């Protein structure tokens, strides 16, 4: 098994208005930190340490669990506004004047809402495997199989591979590598996402799908930050189509798509994607 610096990052804590947040911080401190916002049913143990090591090679990188999720206490949230409020509380509790945000999946939608609610708190946005906050015209719907796996409290390896990686030999091999990478943290027995918290995430997702596109468009047009949108072309959870639509309504956006990859493209193409991120944040 490979050794990663991210696996040695200590659990830290900071008090916020709603919870005692648990987080990990990696890389050289100084400048504008990069704060990562996680996916549906994800905790800080699920960030791939190889991906984190690439990001933190010369950047200040912070991962955290939102209110009521994983290692962080408090009442789980059940709306986009609640998740955004939790992220803002965490950033302010750390005393950060400004942060770059990288949100994956649900975290990408939350990151965009943070930028709308507190634009001065955010410098740049990276939206990975994600979507605008609402219904997107002509987007293919989630299949019954995807919805069924998302509802499972005990999804197995095959379920996760189906959600995150295309059904090709190369992609599945990358998927097995990812689950091997996170196995050290997961084997330590840290808290998973509770079913109450997971149901809150599902409730928030359902509310988002009801938002009309004119509202979605107005919110995208209100984001004036530089934004890097990225996705895998074979994402069965949040189609790349959504990213393509989003950048058409953003003021200052870049779109990157990865062929042969799905929802977890950021781990499948960890080195290439982190270079994109680092170059974007440095520009």
CATH number of the domain residue 49 falls in: 3.40.50.1820
- What are the pLDDT digits (tens) for 34-59? 999 999 999 999 999 999 999 999 99
**Please, which pLDDT band fits residue 153 given cuts at 50, 70 and 90?**
confident
Query: Structurally, how many domains does the chain consist of?
Result: 1
Distance of alpha carbon 6 from alpha carbon 126, whole angstroms: 20
Top pLDDT among 153 and 148 is at 148
Pairing of strands 20-26, 12-15: antiparallel
What's the maximum distance between 2 C-alpha atoms anywhere in the chain?
49
The mean pLDDT value for 184-213 works out to 94
pLDDT at 209 over 90: no
**Which domain does 197 fall in, by range?**
5-282
202-227 average pLDDT score? 94
Q: Would you state the pLDDT for residue 134?
A: 92
Flag whether pLDDT at 143 surpasses 80.
Answer: yes
Model confidence at 61, pLDDT cuts 50, 70, 90, reads very high
The mean predicted confidence, pLDDT, of the chain is 96
pLDDT digits (tens, 9 = 90+) for 244-262: 999 999 999 999 999 999 9
Say whether pLDDT at 1 is over 70. Answer: no
CA pair distance 159, 179, nearest whole angstrom? 12
Structure-block tokens of residue 16: 């916020």
CA nearest 223: which of 115, 98, 99, 110? 115
Return d(Cα 156, Cα 159) in angstroms, integer.
Answer: 5
Q: What pLDDT sits at residue 210?
A: 87
pLDDT band at 171 (very low <50, low <70, confident <90, very high): very high
């Amino acid at each position: 098994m490979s050794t990663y610096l991210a696996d040695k990052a200590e659990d830290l804590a900071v008090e916020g208005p709603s919870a005692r947040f648990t987080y990990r911080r990696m890389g050289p401190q100084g400048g504008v930190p990069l704060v990562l916002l996680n996916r549906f049913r994800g905790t800080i143990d699920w960030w791939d340490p190889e991906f984190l090591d690439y990001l933190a090679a010369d950047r200040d990188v912070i991962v955290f669990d939102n209110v009521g999720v994983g290692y962080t206490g408090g009442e789980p949230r059940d709306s986009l506004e609640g998740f955004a409020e939790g992220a803002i509380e965490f950033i302010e509790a750390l005393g950060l004047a400004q942060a770059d945000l990288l949100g994956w999946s649900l975290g990408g939608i939350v990151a965009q809402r943070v930028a709308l609610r507190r634009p001065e708190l955010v410098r740049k946005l990276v939206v990975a495997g994600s979507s605008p906050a609402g219904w997107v015209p002509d987007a293919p719907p989630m299949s019954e199989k995807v919805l069924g796996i998302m509802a499972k409290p005990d999804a197995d390896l095959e379920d996760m591979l189906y959600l995150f990686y295309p059904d090709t030999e190369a992609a599945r091999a990358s998927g097995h590598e990812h689950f091997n990478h996170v196995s050290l943290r997961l084997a330590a027995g840290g808290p998973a996402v509770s079913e109450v918290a997971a149901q809150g995430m599902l409730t928030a997702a359902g509310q988002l799908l009801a938002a009309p596109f004119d509202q979605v468009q107005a919110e995208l047009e209100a984001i004036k930050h530089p934004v890097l949108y990225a996705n895998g072309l074979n994402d069965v959870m949040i189609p790349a189509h959504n990213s393509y639509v989003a950048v058409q309504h953003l003021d200052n956006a870049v779109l990157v798509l990865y062929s042969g990859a799905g929802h977890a493209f950021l781990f499948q193409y960890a080195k290439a994607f982190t270079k994109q991120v680092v170059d974007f944040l440095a520009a």
